[in-house]
């Protein structure tokens, strides 16, 4: 049996459609369809019901799903075991983090990482979706929330502070908020529905009440760009707004909840020299820049 056929089958079963599975696997939908067709032809059964709202498993598909998950777990465990054979401080380490951390923190410190470990190549994946470390979608993750699943080594590295920012031109027209209660009469920029309910998201929506947002997007750079354009007031990580022209911080003394940042790695890879070097580097830089990450003095 072709393992790739099973891998593509699992992606469709998990994602619910060819297009979503193709995005996950970074291939085109026709490739996904070809592998699913191959698997159905091999067993002589229909594995999916093709519906308008996506792909649903048939009874035969459910039966295969249970077996395929076990095979998948074994395949990834085997891959991790080979990867964990220490090859020294050289090679690629893939880190997943949100866009808010990539530029202001990871890329900012990349020259120092290159200086300390010239043999290590860092690949950074910007994702709000929680990439699966057990399935090797990434080697290391920085997440805004402590996960409960998986055989992971976890440590808290910092708390990211957020602030409210607006363009001077907007404040000239609408006035500057003096208290949090004043936000209820201002144009506020929000996250899209479905974004994880982190403490600052919950805080902002509570203080704004039922006043609808004038604009919503998940990337912090997008919310800040909207604030710079005079659309309204945006809550963004202070690191993202650091040194940005055309915005000022409003209510700077307000105690806005921060976001705890967690550094994760699968236990099988935690002792691999290149991975350990990246873990230690990220942790040490986060400790060194703790005040900046927290937004104090920015």
* Secondary structure, 3-state, the chain: CCHHHHHHHHHHHHHCCHHHHHHHHCCCHHHHHHHHHHHHHHHCCCCEEEECCEEEECHHHHHHHHHHHHHHHHHHHHHHHHHCCCCCCCEEEEEEECHHHHHHHHHHHHHHHHHHCCCEEEEEEECCCCCCCCCCCCCEEEECCCCCCCCEEEEEEEEECEEEEECHHHHHHHCCCCCHHHHHHCCEEECCCCCCCCHHHHHHHHHHCCCCCCEECCCHHHHHHHHHCCCCEEEEEHHHHCCCCCCEEECCCCCCCCEEEEEEEEHHHCCCHHHHHHHHHHHHHHHHCHHHHCCCCC
pLDDT of residue 14: 84
Q: What's the pLDDT band for 236 if we cut at 50, 70, 90?
A: very high
Residue holding tokens 């055989």? 151
Per-residue model confidence (pLDDT) at position 76: 62
The rounded percent of the chain whose pLDDT value lies above 70 is 88
Please determine, for residue 292, whether its predicted confidence score (pLDDT) is greater than 60: yes
**Residue 225 binned pLDDT confidence (cut-offs 50, 70, 90):** very high
Supply the pLDDT for residue 50: 83
Edge-first strand listing for the sheet containing 120-126 = 120-126, 91-97, 140-143, 259-266, 152-160
Q: Is 251 left (phi over 0), alpha (psi -120 to 50) or beta?
A: left
pLDDT digits (tens, 9 = 90+) for 28-54: 888 888 888 888 888 888 888 888 778
231, 124, 123: which is closest to 171 by C-alpha? 231
Q: Which residues fall within 8 angstroms of residue 262, CB to CB, at 6 or more apart? A: 142, 143, 144, 145, 146, 147, 154, 155, 156, 157
φ, ψ for residue 278, nearest 5 deg: -70, -40
| Lowest mean per-residue pLDDT among 72-86, 139-153, 201-215 | 72-86
Q: What is the pLDDT of residue 130?
A: 53
Decide if pLDDT at 60 tops 80: yes
The predicted model gives 153-158 an average pLDDT of 92
Mean pLDDT of 151-158: 89
pLDDT of 131 over the 60 cut: no
Burial of 226-253, coded b for 16+ CB within 10 Å and e otherwise, reads bbbebbbbbbbbbbbbeeeeebeebbee
User: What pLDDT was estimated at residue 121?
Assistant: 93
d(CA 91, CA 118): 10
Q: How confident is the model at residue 87 (pLDDT cuts 50, 70, 90)?
A: low
The answer to whether residue 189 scores a pLDDT higher than 70 is: yes
Q: What is the pLDDT of residue 267?
A: 81
Rounded average pLDDT over 267-281: 88
pLDDT higher than 70, residue 265: yes
Q: What's the confidence (pLDDT) of residue 78? A: 60
Q: Which residue has the higher pLDDT, 18 or 190?
A: 190
Average confidence (pLDDT) over 108-121: 94
Q: Which two tokens stand for residue 150?
A: 């998986």
pLDDT category of residue 115 using cuts at 50, 70 and 90? very high
């Amino acid at each position: 049996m072709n393992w790739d056929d099973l891998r593509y089958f699992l992606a469709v079963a998990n994602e619910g459609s060819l297009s979503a599975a193709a995005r996950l696997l970074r291939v085109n939908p026709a490739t996904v369809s070809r592998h699913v067709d191959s698997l159905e032809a091999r067993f002589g059964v229909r594995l999916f019901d093709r519906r308008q709202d996506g792909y649903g498993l048939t009874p035969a598909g459910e039966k295969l799903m249970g077996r395929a998950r076990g095979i998948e777990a074994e395949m990834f465990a085997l891959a991790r075991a080979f990867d964990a054979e220490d090859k020294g401080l050289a090679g690629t380490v893939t880190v997943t983090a949100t866009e808010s951390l990539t530029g202001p923190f990871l890329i900012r410190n990349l020259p120092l990482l290159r200086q300390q470990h010239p043999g290590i190549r860092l690949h950074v994946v910007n994702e709000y979706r929680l990439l699966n470390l057990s399935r090797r979608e990434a080697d290391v993750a920085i997440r805004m929330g402590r996960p409960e699943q998986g055989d992971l080594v976890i440590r808290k590295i910092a708390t990211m502070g957020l602030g409210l920012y607006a363009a001077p031109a907007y404040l000239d027209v609408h006035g500057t908020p003096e208290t949090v209660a004043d936000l209820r009469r201002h144009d506020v920029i929000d996250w899209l529905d479905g974004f994880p309910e982190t403490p600052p998201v919950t805080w902002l929506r509570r203080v704004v009440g039922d006043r609808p947002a004038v604009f919503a997007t998940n990337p912090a750079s997008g919310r800040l760009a909207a604030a710079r354009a005079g659309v309204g007031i945006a809550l963004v990580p202070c690191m993202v707004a650091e040194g940005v022209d055309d915005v000022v911080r409003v209510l700077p003394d307000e105690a806005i909840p921060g976001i705890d940042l967690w550094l994760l790695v699968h236990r099988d890879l935690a002792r691999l020299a290149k991975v350990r070097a990246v873990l230690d580097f990220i942790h040490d830089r986060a400790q060194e820049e703790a005040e900046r990450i927290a937004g104090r003095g920015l």
